[in-house]
Amino acid sequence: MAKLKAPPEIDLERLNEIVNEHALKRWALIPLVQEVQAEFGFIPPRVVPIIANKLHLFPSEVQGVVSFYEQLYTEPRGRNIVRVCRGTACHVRGGKTILKLVKRQLELEENETSEDLEYTLETVACLGVCALSPTMVINNQVYGHMNPKKVKELFKREGES
Protein backbone atom coordinates (compact mmCIF):
# COMPACT_ATOMS: atom_id res chain seq x y z
CA MET A 1 0.00 0.00 0.00
CA ALA A 2 1.05 3.56 -0.51
CA LYS A 3 2.62 5.13 2.53
CA LEU A 4 0.42 7.60 4.37
CA LYS A 5 1.75 10.87 5.68
CA ALA A 6 0.41 10.22 9.19
CA PRO A 7 -1.67 7.37 10.57
CA PRO A 8 -5.29 8.32 11.17
CA GLU A 9 -6.23 9.06 14.76
CA ILE A 10 -8.18 6.40 16.61
CA ASP A 11 -10.86 7.44 19.06
CA LEU A 12 -9.72 5.36 22.04
CA GLU A 13 -12.90 6.08 23.96
CA ARG A 14 -14.99 4.65 21.12
CA LEU A 15 -12.60 1.71 20.81
CA ASN A 16 -13.05 0.93 24.50
CA GLU A 17 -16.85 1.08 24.13
CA ILE A 18 -16.71 -1.46 21.30
CA VAL A 19 -14.27 -3.76 23.09
CA ASN A 20 -16.18 -3.59 26.38
CA GLU A 21 -19.37 -4.73 24.64
CA HIS A 22 -17.57 -8.00 23.87
CA ALA A 23 -15.39 -8.33 26.99
CA LEU A 24 -14.77 -11.88 28.23
CA LYS A 25 -16.55 -13.42 25.23
CA ARG A 26 -13.77 -15.36 23.50
CA TRP A 27 -16.23 -16.50 20.85
CA ALA A 28 -16.83 -12.84 19.94
CA LEU A 29 -13.36 -12.20 18.52
CA ILE A 30 -14.43 -12.14 14.86
CA PRO A 31 -17.53 -9.95 15.41
CA LEU A 32 -15.40 -7.67 17.57
CA VAL A 33 -12.65 -7.13 15.00
CA GLN A 34 -15.30 -6.68 12.31
CA GLU A 35 -16.94 -3.98 14.40
CA VAL A 36 -13.60 -2.26 15.03
CA GLN A 37 -12.92 -2.31 11.29
CA ALA A 38 -16.41 -0.99 10.51
CA GLU A 39 -15.87 1.90 12.94
CA PHE A 40 -12.31 2.88 11.97
CA GLY A 41 -11.98 1.51 8.42
CA PHE A 42 -9.24 -0.93 9.45
CA ILE A 43 -7.88 -2.75 12.50
CA PRO A 44 -4.97 -0.72 13.82
CA PRO A 45 -2.18 -3.07 14.96
CA ARG A 46 -1.93 -1.16 18.25
CA VAL A 47 -5.47 -2.26 19.23
CA VAL A 48 -4.61 -5.98 19.03
CA PRO A 49 -3.22 -6.12 22.62
CA ILE A 50 -6.28 -4.20 23.90
CA ILE A 51 -8.63 -6.70 22.26
CA ALA A 52 -6.56 -9.65 23.48
CA ASN A 53 -6.57 -8.36 27.05
CA LYS A 54 -10.36 -7.90 27.15
CA LEU A 55 -11.02 -11.36 25.71
CA HIS A 56 -8.33 -13.07 27.80
CA LEU A 57 -6.46 -14.15 24.68
CA PHE A 58 -2.84 -13.85 23.64
CA PRO A 59 -2.15 -11.00 21.19
CA SER A 60 -0.82 -13.63 18.77
CA GLU A 61 -4.25 -15.31 18.77
CA VAL A 62 -5.96 -12.05 17.84
CA GLN A 63 -3.33 -11.23 15.22
CA GLY A 64 -3.65 -14.74 13.80
CA VAL A 65 -7.36 -14.22 13.17
CA VAL A 66 -6.85 -10.71 11.77
CA SER A 67 -4.14 -11.86 9.36
CA PHE A 68 -6.01 -15.03 8.32
CA TYR A 69 -9.11 -13.37 6.89
CA GLU A 70 -8.55 -11.49 3.66
CA GLN A 71 -11.43 -9.10 4.35
CA LEU A 72 -9.79 -7.80 7.54
CA TYR A 73 -7.31 -4.96 7.06
CA THR A 74 -4.52 -3.64 9.28
CA GLU A 75 -3.79 -0.62 7.09
CA PRO A 76 -6.10 2.31 6.42
CA ARG A 77 -8.19 1.94 3.28
CA GLY A 78 -9.77 4.48 1.00
CA ARG A 79 -13.28 5.82 1.36
CA ASN A 80 -13.87 4.41 -2.12
CA ILE A 81 -12.85 0.82 -2.78
CA VAL A 82 -12.31 0.17 -6.48
CA ARG A 83 -12.22 -3.49 -7.53
CA VAL A 84 -11.35 -4.49 -11.07
CA CYS A 85 -12.19 -8.00 -12.23
CA ARG A 86 -9.37 -10.19 -13.54
CA GLY A 87 -11.58 -13.20 -14.30
CA THR A 88 -11.42 -15.05 -17.59
CA ALA A 89 -14.46 -13.39 -19.19
CA CYS A 90 -13.22 -9.93 -18.25
CA HIS A 91 -9.68 -10.76 -19.35
CA VAL A 92 -10.69 -11.86 -22.84
CA ARG A 93 -12.92 -8.79 -23.23
CA GLY A 94 -10.26 -6.23 -22.35
CA GLY A 95 -10.07 -6.31 -18.56
CA LYS A 96 -6.29 -5.89 -18.63
CA THR A 97 -6.70 -2.58 -20.45
CA ILE A 98 -9.42 -1.47 -18.03
CA LEU A 99 -7.11 -2.19 -15.07
CA LYS A 100 -4.29 -0.26 -16.74
CA LEU A 101 -6.59 2.74 -17.29
CA VAL A 102 -7.92 2.66 -13.72
CA LYS A 103 -4.35 2.54 -12.39
CA ARG A 104 -3.52 5.58 -14.50
CA GLN A 105 -6.68 7.48 -13.43
CA LEU A 106 -6.10 6.81 -9.73
CA GLU A 107 -2.30 6.94 -9.89
CA LEU A 108 -2.26 3.72 -7.86
CA GLU A 109 -0.99 0.20 -8.27
CA GLU A 110 -2.94 -2.88 -7.18
CA ASN A 111 -3.57 -3.04 -3.43
CA GLU A 112 -2.54 0.56 -2.87
CA THR A 113 -4.41 3.33 -1.10
CA SER A 114 -4.09 6.98 -2.01
CA GLU A 115 -2.40 9.25 0.54
CA ASP A 116 -5.61 11.23 0.99
CA LEU A 117 -7.48 7.95 1.74
CA GLU A 118 -9.89 8.66 -1.11
CA TYR A 119 -9.28 5.41 -3.06
CA THR A 120 -8.03 1.87 -2.59
CA LEU A 121 -7.46 -0.17 -5.74
CA GLU A 122 -7.89 -3.94 -5.66
CA THR A 123 -8.21 -6.70 -8.19
CA VAL A 124 -10.42 -9.72 -7.73
CA ALA A 125 -10.44 -13.15 -9.36
CA CYS A 126 -14.10 -12.83 -10.36
CA LEU A 127 -16.97 -10.50 -9.59
CA GLY A 128 -19.57 -13.01 -10.77
CA VAL A 129 -21.15 -10.79 -13.41
CA CYS A 130 -19.43 -12.26 -16.45
CA ALA A 131 -22.24 -11.25 -18.81
CA LEU A 132 -21.28 -7.62 -18.11
CA SER A 133 -17.55 -8.06 -18.66
CA PRO A 134 -15.24 -6.33 -18.42
CA THR A 135 -16.47 -5.19 -15.03
CA MET A 136 -15.41 -3.22 -12.00
CA VAL A 137 -17.02 -2.24 -8.71
CA ILE A 138 -16.73 1.01 -6.81
CA ASN A 139 -17.90 0.43 -3.26
CA ASN A 140 -21.02 -1.67 -3.93
CA GLN A 141 -21.90 -0.30 -7.37
CA VAL A 142 -21.16 -2.63 -10.32
CA TYR A 143 -20.07 -1.09 -13.62
CA GLY A 144 -20.21 -3.35 -16.65
CA HIS A 145 -19.20 -3.37 -20.29
CA MET A 146 -16.32 -1.09 -19.38
CA ASN A 147 -14.26 0.58 -22.08
CA PRO A 148 -11.69 3.41 -22.03
CA LYS A 149 -14.33 6.12 -22.49
CA LYS A 150 -16.49 4.75 -19.64
CA VAL A 151 -13.48 4.57 -17.29
CA LYS A 152 -12.60 8.19 -18.00
CA GLU A 153 -16.21 9.37 -17.57
CA LEU A 154 -16.69 7.34 -14.40
CA PHE A 155 -13.72 8.84 -12.61
CA LYS A 156 -14.52 12.32 -13.86
CA ARG A 157 -18.01 11.91 -12.36
CA GLU A 158 -16.59 10.41 -9.13
CA GLY A 159 -14.24 13.39 -8.81
CA GLU A 160 -17.15 15.83 -9.11
CA SER A 161 -19.09 14.24 -6.21
| Lowest mean pLDDT across 10-19, 30-39, 61-70 | 10-19
| Lowest mean pLDDT across 17-21, 33-37, 126-130, 139-143 | 17-21
Looking at per-residue pLDDT, the higher value among 9 and 5 belongs to 9
The DSSP secondary structure of 120-131, one letter per residue, reads EEEEES--S-GG
Q: Say what the pLDDT of residue 158 is.
A: 65
Length of the chain: 161
Q: Say what the pLDDT of residue 112 is.
A: 94
- Does this model's pTM top 0.85? My answer is no
Mean pLDDT of 128-144: 96
Mean pLDDT of 38-63: 94
- Which residues are bridge partners to 81 per DSSP? 120
Residue 139: is it exposed, middle or buried by C-beta count within 10 angstroms (0-12/13-18/19+)?
exposed
User: Of the candidates 146, 29, 129, 28, which has an alpha carbon nearest to the alpha carbon of residue 87?
Assistant: 129
Q: Say what the pLDDT of residue 9 is.
A: 79
Domain boundaries, the chain: 12-68, 80-160
Mean pLDDT of 20-34: 87
Mean pLDDT of 145-159: 88
Q: Say what the pLDDT of residue 98 is.
A: 97
Q: Say what the pLDDT of residue 6 is.
A: 55
- Nearest 5°: CA angle at 148, between 146 and 153? 85
Q: Say what the pLDDT of residue 78 is.
A: 93
Q: Which fold has domain 80-160?
A: Glutaredoxin (3.40.30)
12-68 to CATH, choices 1.10.600, 1.10.150, 1.10.10, 2.60.120: 1.10.10
Angstrom distance (rounded) from CA 62 to CA 53: 10
**Do the domains spanning 12-68 and 80-160 agree at the CATH topology level?**
no
For residue 5, the SS3 value is coil
Residue 43 · residue 66 · CB < 8 Å: yes
Residue 6 burial (CB count, 10 A): 6
